[in-house]
Structure 1
């Protein structure tokens, strides 16, 4: 449908969501309720009702960001908390027009309170399956290693992720401060994941420059890159990403919130677009950054001048980069075409039901 301004409603644009972190997907109100339930004292930055002021481009700023994330994660202590988080994340995605969600989680972070590593992962996968049934949203999981931990831990996670591939795990990632360590230290873990049929989707090109994106490609053989925006600083790297059609999971709101760029207009969406680099817009950590999925498309419209045809192509790129079943992919692409073809002032025709996770 269109707003009164004559613009198509970006919440009704079908799309895939490929960059969302687990705890960071939580609703602020849910965090307040869980903190009260468990007697967790929240700092003002998490209890004030507004996204915290963050700037993570230096060590102190990144530590503060990580500290806030860890406090929020400490409020997830029981299977019912995990179920609530995933269900609400799915509801938010459906509200924003998402047809498919690939949520990223490091189960080692939840293992101490959920009975161990394997039980924690099974609880998460149970919650994903239930939320998918309840909301109709197709949901899959990327297991992410923490680059602040030993590479042997990453290998353990990769083997576990492969073992549970038939429960909806589709990819393997590498998160946390990319300025620490080397991507190549995790090459064996990624080899285990790739050989087990999982997509390689490490973070790179956010806090560090183009070299971190090159490392993702060369050392980890990335099929997608989390963030990747700093590739815009290297024309040769842009050409390489475009030639290989490696999708960058771009999160415009978090790039500004973390101080990677000073203002929304500085995020190099146009540079990547004009170079032919496919993008999948993502919300990253809406609990801390405030903006969910549709808001990322709104930023592309307002700050970068993307028209509706270009926004529809961004949505197509997210769908093509996902691991959707082919029938769901075709249906979603057709619904994007219908969204764009709808006459100004008229609502789009209702599409078929949302794709379900098996």
Structure 2
């Protein structure tokens, strides 16, 4: 059983973390009919295109900074109840602008939710500002410039998500250079919908310390060896990969092979309620379906903290909490 294990997560989209019960509450608040995307307490979608439609409809239920504070606090409180000590939240200022809230108020609400959850549970969290690839290079560059100018101490990373099949990584390099120059940690979605080449392109052009997903790298043994040599961390989301059809079943999932090849990996939930999962469930999947031992799972949690976009003092505090929690579980 992994319920008692200390946990950390560095790949979760905030709108994608909205529990169905909270979405229903928000829909009632704004008089929105949820019949097309929320039934019997579950989100409804059939393929990747429909998932994106469902995601957007859920995201549209959060319209104010207060809504975003509530969403963020709710998710972090849920994580804390699973013995999670650290979370990184992927956020999109573009979304704040598109809904008329504005990027500043959007981030302020999320930051308030982080503060409230920390005060209540002690969980630490940080924000990864993310550009959406399918909006084009100019948009992603503008998001990077926004993140670089942010005076928010919780904004510590920059990412690019969205439709992986659109554009070339080379088109977005300037955005990552801006973020790097501002001292932000870099990660990028790659190797999920697209194959190993997308991971190679990310390593060649962006030089991130982490890659979101990255599992398709397993298709290229030379690339796997390169990832191991570089120490690049893969933010792996097994439940998401199965739900979206990247792999047909957990037996086919390469997480175990990647770790055995020396690649640094960690467990994450991506958009948990959309995929019928949670961070606690991802830890359970790791043991029951993927065959990891408890020491190996604790090692992945350590990897997440070592790769976290935090300063060295905070990293040492988190690693100490992990070590203390691990000792307590061994002797409890």
Counterpart of 2:34 in structure 1 is 42
Output aligned runs, 1:65-84, within 5 Å.
65-84=51-70
User: Which among 151, 157, 161 is matched to residue 171 of structure 1?
Assistant: 157
Displacement of 1:335 in angstroms is 4.4
> Which sections of structure 2, spanning at least 5 residues, go unmatched?
none
Equivalent pairs counted in the alignment come to 332
User: Residues 209-230 of structure 1, C-alpha deviation per residue, up to 9 Å, x if partnerless?
Assistant: 1011111111222111000000
Between Structure 1 and Structure 2, which shows a larger proportion of strand residues?
Answer: 2
The Cα RMSD (Å) is: 1.9
Displacement of 1:251 in angstroms is 0.3
User: Residues 298-356 of structure 1, C-alpha deviation per residue, up to 9 Å, x if partnerless?
Assistant: 11101111111111111111111112443443344344445555576x52xxxxxxxxx
The answer to whether the aligner puts 1:29 opposite 2:25 as a matched pair is no
* Inter-partner Cα distance in structure 1 for 2:27 and 2:78: 21
User: Residues 271-306 of structure 1, C-alpha deviation per residue, up to 9 Å, x if partnerless?
Assistant: 111111111211100120121112111111011111
Which secondary structure state, in structure 2, belongs to the residue aligned with residue 109 of structure 1? helix
Which secondary structure state, in structure 2, belongs to the residue aligned with residue 254 of structure 1? helix
Displacement of 1:67 in angstroms is 0.4
Counterpart of 2:278 in structure 1 is 292
* Inter-partner Cα distance in structure 2 for 1:41 and 1:19: 30
Which secondary structure state, in structure 2, belongs to the residue aligned with residue 18 of structure 1? strand
User: Residues 29-70 of structure 1, C-alpha deviation per residue, up to 9 Å, x if partnerless?
Assistant: 00011111112122454232235454xxxxxx3321110010
The answer to whether the aligner puts 1:140 opposite 2:126 as a matched pair is yes
User: Which among 306, 323, 332 is matched to residue 309 of structure 2?
Assistant: 323
Query: Given the superposition, is the C-alpha separation of residues 243 and 295 from structure 1 closer, same or farther in structure 2, using an over 3 Å criterion?
Result: same
Displacement of 1:112 in angstroms is 3.8
> Which sections of structure 1, spanning at least 5 residues, go unmatched?
1-6, 55-60, 348-358
TM-score by length of 2: 0.94
Counterpart of 1:119 in structure 2 is 105
* Inter-partner Cα distance in structure 2 for 1:308 and 1:127: 31
* Inter-partner Cα distance in structure 1 for 2:321 and 2:127: 24
Task: State whether residues 147 and 155 of structure 2, in contact with CA within 8 Å, keep that contact through their aligned partners in structure 1.
Answer: yes
Displacement of 1:164 in angstroms is 1.4
TM-score by length of 1: 0.87
Counterpart of 2:145 in structure 1 is 159
Counterpart of 2:117 in structure 1 is 131
Query: Given the superposition, is the C-alpha separation of residues 173 and 241 from structure 1 closer, same or farther in structure 2, using an over 3 Å criterion?
Result: same
Counterpart of 1:229 in structure 2 is 215
